Amino acid sequence: MSKRVEVILTVGLIMATFVTVTFGLYTGLKAVESPQVPDNGISIETQMASTVLIEVDGRQMGSGFIIAPDLIVTARHIVDREGNYAVLFGDDTRRNVQAIRISETTDCAVLQVSKTGLNPLVLTTEVEVGRSILVIGSPLALNFFNYVTRGIVSKLNVQEDGLSNNPITMIDAAVNPGNSGGPVFDMRGRVIGIAIARYPHNCGMNFITPSKDILVLLESWYDEGPNYAERMEKIRKSQEESYGETAG
């Protein structure tokens, strides 16, 4: 074999190796990036369109999401005070809240609204530590409407009596004031809970009410019908002793 042929073969092997390594790195990066979009055949825009902002007396209070054609789920501490509540939707329309039901044991509430064309999200109780999640909400100001952050499930069955009488879930995805009540999704686009609080100093220890508690509240809504929770004052006082900081 001539030296010219050997040189050509050597260069060819080097180029083939470079292409293989480059392609491997590219596909590896794509594999890491792909879970950011739910894998159930719908885009994250679907979840964003079903996430809402909660207002009281015209002021932004927190986030929420559509769970039924006429029902919104949010955090209890978002609606634990008297006032005129309204919901801002992704299409820039507002609807007044007609009825509120507040959980006595968890940081969770259900609001009733009248609006056509709502697309309910799906709840799941299938949650595992280490699984990737997305958080959608409207922190800080209206220009951050439907802001998305990403993280993992950090710990299950956390007992923090200042936040809930029932065990809650810890995540490390960023949660800020205004996120409270917003949905937390798994990578299939299903809601695993609602953002309720963060540990002080933004150290990546944030808390959510799990979906199983949302399901219990929804069952009580359908069993007993809507009410306006005469216990608002009692709940407000209990929140003053809450652990850490509420996210919204």
Indicate the DSSP class of residue 39: S
Range 127-157 burial, b when 16+ CB lie within 10 A, else e: beeeeebbbbbbbeeeeebbbbbebebbeee
Q: What is the pLDDT of residue 34?
A: 36
Q: Which one-letter amino acid corresponds to residue 148?
A: V
* Active-site choice (180, 186, 211, 213): 180
* Binned average pLDDT, 10 residues per bin, the chain of 248 residues: 46 44 38 43 77 90 91 92 90 91 91 90 92 87 79 88 82 85 92 87 81 89 52 41 46
Which position among 50, 70, 80, 107 bears the catalytic label?
107
pLDDT tens for residues 65-105? 999 888 999 999 999 888 899 999 988 899 999 989 998 88
Q: Which of 77, 103, 154, 211 is catalytic?
A: 77
C-alpha span between 188 and 194 (Å, rounded): 16
- Mean residue pLDDT across the chain: 76
Neighbours of 67 (CB within 10 A): 25
Taking only the tens place, the pLDDT of each residue in 146-173 is 888 899 999 998 887 777 878 889 999 8
Does the global pTM surpass 0.75? no
Q: What is the C-alpha to C-alpha distance for residues 90 and 94, in angstroms, rounded to an integer?
A: 9
Measured over the CA atoms of residue 112, residue 216, residue 228 and residue 87, the dihedral's sign is: negative
Active-site residue, 107 included: yes
Distances (CA, A) of 139 to 74, 84, 104, 158, 230: 14, 21, 26, 24, 29
